[in-house]
Structure 1
Amino acid sequence: MMVSADYIKEVILAGLPCDYIDVQGDDGTHFNAVIVSAEFSGRNRVQRHQLVYQALGDRMRAEIHALGMKTLSPEEWAQQQG
């Protein structure tokens, strides 16, 4: 089953409060996401990715082959935006 970047975005938003999210990918199985969430504050990269995987649930195994993630707290995002 092919899924869209918009679908992935909706699923993540349904399970994780995000200040900003952008999901890219047009082949239906490989995606890249930039996710900004206050939930990431004080957590390391592995913990942040686990939160996203929890939001995606079984879709990570069944529908999404690869998801590259850049996970940032709102403070880190603000610094990057300069």
Structure 2
Amino acid sequence: MVTPEQVKQYIAAGLTCEVLEVSGDGHHFEAIIVAKAFDGLPRIRQHQMVYQVLGERMREEIHALSMKTFSPHEWKNRP
């Protein structure tokens, strides 16, 4: 079973993050991801980048991932 720490490592290996928090129960995970690479991108494209980093793990190891993604500017200015 995959742990939240492993999911965090998978994301960090493919995406430089300023903030990366992952929680979950081994099947369903929640993540908060702040990355400079998200600057100027719509939310859907940000999520696609994370899914791309995770690749086949999304089919084989991770059953569900709910994420909140932000650029550093969005993170700093969030309500």
Structure 1 segments of 4+ aligned residues over 4 angstroms from their partners: none
Which of 48, 54, 57 in structure 2 is aligned with 1:56? 54
Instruction: List per-residue Cα deviations over 1:12-56 (Å, max 9, x = no partner).
Output: 00001111100011x211000000001111111110011001111
Unaligned runs of 5+ in 2: none
Shift in Å at residue 79 of structure 1? Answer: 1.2
The one-letter code sitting in structure 1 at the alignment partner of 2:48 is Q
- Where does 1:3-82 land on structure 2 (aligned, <5 Å)? 3-25=2-24, 27-80=25-78
Structure 1 stretches lacking a partner, 5+ long:
none
Tell me the TM-score normalised to structure 2 length.
0.95
The TM-score with structure 1 as length reference comes to 0.92
Q: In angstroms, what is the RMSD of aligned CA positions? A: 1.0
Q: How many angstroms apart in 1 are the aligned matches of 2:53 and 2:47?
A: 10
Instruction: State the identity %.
Output: 53
Aligned pair count reads 79
Q: Secondary structure at the match of 1:23?
A: strand
